[in-house]
Amino acid sequence: MTPAHVGPNVEVEREVITQQEVAAEGVVAERGVAAERGVVAERDARILLARLAEPGDEIVQRELSVVGYEGLAQDVLGPQRSAAAKRLGPRLERLRGDGGLPNDDAIAARLDARIITPADSEWPAGLADLEHPPHCLWVRGPVRLDVVCRRSVAIVGARAATAYGVDRASEIASGLASRGFAVISGAAFGIDGAAHRGALAVQGITVAVLACGIDRPYPQAHSALIQEIGRAGAVVTELPPGAAPYRGRFLLRNRLLAAMSGGVVVIEAAMRSGSLQTAGRAAAIGRPVGALPGPVTSMASGGCHQAIRDQLAVLVTDAAEVADLVGDYGRDVAEPARGPEVVGDRLPPEQRALWEVLPVRHPATAAELAERAVLAHTTALAALASLELLGLAERTGDLWHRPRAS
């Protein structure tokens, strides 16, 4: 199927890029061009359906389970026989009437963003735990989602947060980021914003998951914050550019917060808070959930107290307790270290993080090591230089590795 939203020249160019990406990921050439075209077709079908269907649309999901993405996209663009295709048909016609189906890859490039699907190695593995994963994700930022989500915590809570809640959210986020965890939140006022700022304050990694298009920072008062997150971490959404935020989309966005993270912490939530819904979704897919207690007289913490009382959440009070709760969820188990491990135990956190991912046999670039250790590139360079002076790292050109004796 030739995607309707791109011209033929763009499609040829995209096939070349896709084949290069697949080759770079070590997929053998014997798969052939025909197989690669199948991957491209599904990718474009996913992007098309993300334009036309609301996340989690049950009718669309049922049809996808029967005919798959390519089959449903062909039906939508053609005869529209299925209930799902008929449901999406009017939206397709509106897009065509507004000037035709957009070239989303070109739009993403103009927004300094990228579109990823489950066929991409960057796709967060945790999304597979959802009953209805997103069709695709729009991502802006220098970090790889698959890397940062392996060791991450989502911090959620009240928009109308108290000074106590803002202070604790910032402190816990800073502590987690300093321990090498990425902090995931929703960029909202209150607890979300405090969590993002806390991580940024220690040059940590933070990810904002939006309930609108990546070109429409919401809330607008957080535009500068969201831009900063996009420069240092990642801004993510399952909705296409131009999509406006509304309540239903926030509730659906919460499932992404739960699934992308290694655990969820609730800081200040009233009894019927959307943050409790996020906690419930996290628990349902096996993520650990923590809740910060507040004053017993505070309505802002009533939902946290209820979650602890109902054993939905574990009581946590600081970053160390959150790290203990979440542990190394999703992180690859390293081989037992030998030799310099005693030295490694005494290293500062950034140097130890780099030393632990430093290969012996297959040297890696500083950028690759920074991703593996979930550190900023400049921090990784400084740590590698220190390790080199200590005799714990060696460099050959742009590639780094452990000394053979390690």
Q: pLDDT tens string for the chain (406 positions)?
A: 333 333 323 232 222 233 333 332 322 222 233 333 444 489 999 999 999 999 988 999 999 999 999 999 999 988 888 999 999 999 899 888 887 788 999 999 999 999 999 999 999 999 999 999 999 999 999 999 999 999 999 999 999 999 999 999 999 999 999 999 999 999 999 999 999 999 999 999 999 999 999 999 999 999 999 999 999 999 999 999 999 998 889 989 999 999 999 999 999 998 888 899 999 999 999 999 999 999 989 999 999 999 999 999 999 999 999 999 998 544 433 333 333 344 455 678 788 778 777 887 678 898 888 877 777 888 888 888 888 877 888 888 889 888 865 3
How far separated are the first and last CA of the chain, in Å rounded? Answer: 53
Residue 219, preceding peptide bond in cis (omega within 30° of 0): yes
| CA 57 to each of CA 83, 204, 282: distance values in angstroms, whole numbers, following the listed order | 12, 35, 20
Q: Among residues 321, 326, 278, 6, which one has the least CA distance to residue 156?
A: 278
Q: What is the pLDDT of residue 1?
A: 38
What pTM, to 2 d.p., does this model score? 0.72
Q: What is the pLDDT of residue 346?
A: 66
Q: What is the pLDDT of residue 165?
A: 95
Q: How far apart are CA 290 and CA 223, in angstroms?
A: 29
| Size of the chain, expressed as the number of residues it contains | 406
Could you give the dihedral angle defined by the CA atoms of residues 272, 274, 275 and 281, in that order, rounded to the nearest 10 degrees? 110
CATH entry 3.90.1260.10 includes domain 343-401: no
Question: What is the amino acid identity at position 84?
Answer: A
Contacts of 130 (CB under 8 A, 6+ apart): 255, 259, 285
| CA 333 to each of CA 107, 151, 327, 369: distance values in angstroms, whole numbers, following the listed order | 39, 12, 12, 17
Specify whether the CB–CB gap between 177 and 206 falls below 8 A: yes
Q: What is the pLDDT of residue 386?
A: 81
Q: How far apart are CA 252 and CA 237, in angstroms?
A: 11
Q: What is the CATH number of domain 125-326?
A: 3.40.50.450
Contacts of 156 (CB under 8 A, 6+ apart): 185, 186, 191, 192, 254, 257, 264, 265, 266, 267, 269, 275, 278, 279
Angle at 201 between CA 158 and CA 113, to 5 degrees: 80
**DSSP-assigned letters across all residues of 156-200:** EE-SS--HHHHHHHHHHHHHHHHTT-EEEE---TTHHHHHHHHHH
Q: What is the pLDDT of residue 197?
A: 97
Take residue 129 and report the two structure tokens written for it. Answer: 């735990």
Contacts of 377 (CB under 8 A, 6+ apart): 142, 366, 367, 370
Domains of the chain by residue range = 39-102, 125-326, 343-401
Q: What is the DSSP letter of 393?
A: -
